[in-house]
Amino acid sequence: MTATAANQAEFAELVAARRDLHAHPELGFQEHRTASLVAERLRALGYDVKTGVGRTGVVGVLRGTGPAGGRAGRTVLLRADMDALPVQETNEVAYRSTAPGVMHACGHDAHVAIGLAVARRLAAARNAWAGTVKLAFQPAEETGEGAEAMIADGVLDAPTVDAAFGLHVISNLPIGSISATSGAIMGSVDNFTIRIRGKGGHAAMPQDAVDPVLAAAHVTTALQSLVSRTADPFDHLVVSVTRIQTGTTDNVIPEHAELGGTVRTMGGRLYAEVPRRLAALVNGVAGGLGCTAEVDYVRQTPAVVNDEAMTALVARVAGDVVGTTNVNTGARMLGGEDFSLFLQRVPGCFAWVGSGNTARGYDAPHHSPRFDIDESAMPVGVDLLERVAREYLR
Ligand SMILES: [Zn+2]
Ligand SMILES: [Zn+2]
């Protein structure tokens, strides 16, 4: 086969794999069909396969048989997430989701297809590299639980992982571009629930009641002062109140109100301080209005922090793949990603591969019912991950 024919065959396989996964999406920790498909293909390629790693996760390990040198004693982990979202797809495509209310609306179908193609390439070239590659097909990224579950089940041990790399296709970067940014690139994800208790009564006699609705409104407004008055204007902080639940009818002051929302930071001082500041503010404001408040603050995932040297490696390889002018080294966002848990333990880099193409209509945001990718992003991702792994082990 010529190089072009091989590329065409690989692309056809990527598209077929991705569309099959797209048509059969599975929610976090329910990726049974996906996991068994992955395990079967990895075994056929000669990988040592473990299933049930972090419930529905799959790990494939392969040792290169090429001439040892440099970092040949090391192990590199490549991660692909597998889960879909509780979204009803509205795309009218041949490969649309066949599962009601479940959709690959984030592109994890592409990540699995890319991971399998990388597995195939590394196996085919096994005698040209040395060291160990560990492919981690992760469940439940969207709920922020899968990476933790795989780590708890030993994905970073035996053999011990020395570096970790992952990627995400991304619709707001154009096709043919790659982003590899050093330092904190994605936000920490914390969630909160605030319960405010007042004293119910008649809406026309507020003097006999303690109004939790008014307190909820003031708390919501006051929480924005965390952003404007607590954060250094050059730091990053998002506080979003996303739900307020209270009351039953027009002429009754209710007993209580519940607020919920999320806090995002890029780590550091704000990550450490915001929980305490938020609780103090809520208690002060609610207390000043005669109510009591209770804050339930839950840390979900820390910020994604890319290692400087590993990011330099990815950016260099990315330049070879898409040309240096198409490599972005400054993109950041406050969305969350549980790849951060791998990066807390081993150095590595999480890269973005542009999959947006406005001219072809691939511009819907992630998690939207119209989300789709320009599939030519997949070979870019395969090139990137395969070359990064081999470059790291060289
Ligand atoms: Zn997502
Ligand atoms: Zn995602």
* pLDDT for the residue numbered 71: 72
* pLDDT for the residue numbered 375: 98
pLDDT in tens, 353-392: 999 999 999 999 999 999 999 999 999 999 999 999 999 9
Calculate the alpha carbon distances from 272 to 106, 171, 241 in Å: 29, 32, 20
For residue 232, the CA-to-ligand 2 centroid distance in Å is 29
pTM for the structure as a whole: 0.93
Among the listed residues 181, 235, 34, the one whose alpha carbon sits nearest the alpha carbon of residue 116: 34
Residues that place a CB less than 5 A from ion ligand 1: 106
pLDDT, mean over the chain: 97
For residue 278, the CA-to-ligand 1 centroid distance in Å is 27
For residue 310, the CA-to-ligand 1 centroid distance in Å is 24
Determine the straight-line distance between the first and last CA of the chain, rounded to whole angstroms.
Answer: 27
pLDDT in tens, 12-43: 999 999 999 999 999 999 999 999 999 999 99
| CA of residue 156 relative to chain centroid, distance | 18
For residue 106, the CA-to-ligand 2 centroid distance in Å is 5
* pLDDT for the residue numbered 271: 97
For residue 314, the CA-to-ligand 2 centroid distance in Å is 20
pLDDT in tens, 272-299: 999 999 999 999 999 999 999 999 999 9
Please tell me the distance from the alpha carbon of residue 330 to that of residue 326, in angstroms, as a whole number: 12
* pLDDT for the residue numbered 5: 87
Q: Which distant-in-sequence residues (6+ apart) come within 8 Å of 108 by Cβ? A: 80, 81, 82, 83, 84, 141
Is-cis flag, bond preceding 275, omega within 30? Answer: no
Instruction: Name the closest ligand to CA 107.
Output: 2
* pLDDT for the residue numbered 6: 85
Low-confidence ranges of the chain (pLDDT < 70): 1
* pLDDT for the residue numbered 138: 98
Residues that place a CB less than 5 A from ion ligand 2: 106
* pLDDT for the residue numbered 3: 77
